Amino acid sequence: MEVKVNIRHTDKAEFELTGGKKADSLNPKELLVYAAAQCAGKTVMTILEKERISPVNLEIEMSGNLDTDTVTAQSVFRSFRIVYNLECRTIAEHGKAGRAIKLANDKYCGTLQMLRRIAPVSDEISVVSTETAKV
Domain boundaries 2-129, CATH class: alpha beta
In this prediction, residues 130-135 reach a mean pLDDT of: 58
Does position 94 have pLDDT exceeding 80, yes or no? yes
DSSP H helical ranges for the chain: 28-50, 94-103, 110-118
pLDDT band (50, 70, 90) for residue 132: low
Alpha-carbon distance 29 to 115, whole Å?
A: 12
In this prediction, residues 108-129 reach a mean pLDDT of: 84
Alpha-carbon distance 76 to 42, whole Å?
A: 26
Does position 6 have pLDDT exceeding 90, yes or no? yes
Q: What is the pLDDT of residue 102?
A: 87
Q: What is the pLDDT of residue 135?
A: 45
Nearest to 105 by CA among 75, 60, 66: 60
Reported as a single tens digit per residue, the pLDDT across 61-79 is: 999 999 999 998 899 999 9
Q: Which amino acid is at 109?
A: C
Does position 133 have pLDDT exceeding 70, yes or no? no
pLDDT band (50, 70, 90) for residue 124: confident
Residue that wins the pLDDT comparison between 135 and 38:
38
Whether the CA torsion 41, 42, 47, 53 is positive or negative: it is positive
